[in-house]
Structure 1
């Protein structure tokens, strides 16, 4: 039986800070589940990290919008019966424009607070 590696889940793991953190975790010996809304970007990131680290299969991409409770189950399914050793709550975004209107605040709240807390 193969060695059981530590497992990390990185939300917002397809680009930027999340992708860099996922890469570092793989280099440090973790298996990583990267989560985000754009499956094609996540798959590309997972392949790149595996190629660069020489650890084929170390990264699993899960496309899920964490503001939608119905989609969170996909992350739970990817974890399976393994223990999660680290969670990086990196999903989120920002609002731009005038503060005169509260349009979009509920979506921002779900993405930045509900999905990561």
Structure 2
């Protein structure tokens, strides 16, 4: 009998399934990314996975009172098993900086632009209300 949940290439499904936890993690991540999606939309930018991850890395660093440059963002993403090239990360940072979402600091680190932070945190407070 055909079971759509089993692979059809002759391989066997894993014995232990993490489907439930994976779905919950995706839902939690999607909810966490909603504020970044709103931020990008308010700047007239389309949402992409790399933009979400780069902005999230900068926000995570800021919450820990750290600053990240291109290498720091790239390393952070690699630590999270997000295989993006150094050049891709650099180009996204340059584009986000050019659009005014983030700023390049004198020490070559990046941070959220004050206007973008205002948009982001006003949306976040709106989500909690």
Q: So what's the TM-score if we normalise by structure 1?
A: 0.27
Which is strand-richer, 1 or 2? 1
Q: So what's the TM-score if we normalise by structure 2?
A: 0.25
* Structure with the larger RCO, 1 or 2 (CA within 8 Å, 6+ apart): 1
Which is helix-richer, 1 or 2? 2
Larger radius of gyration: 2
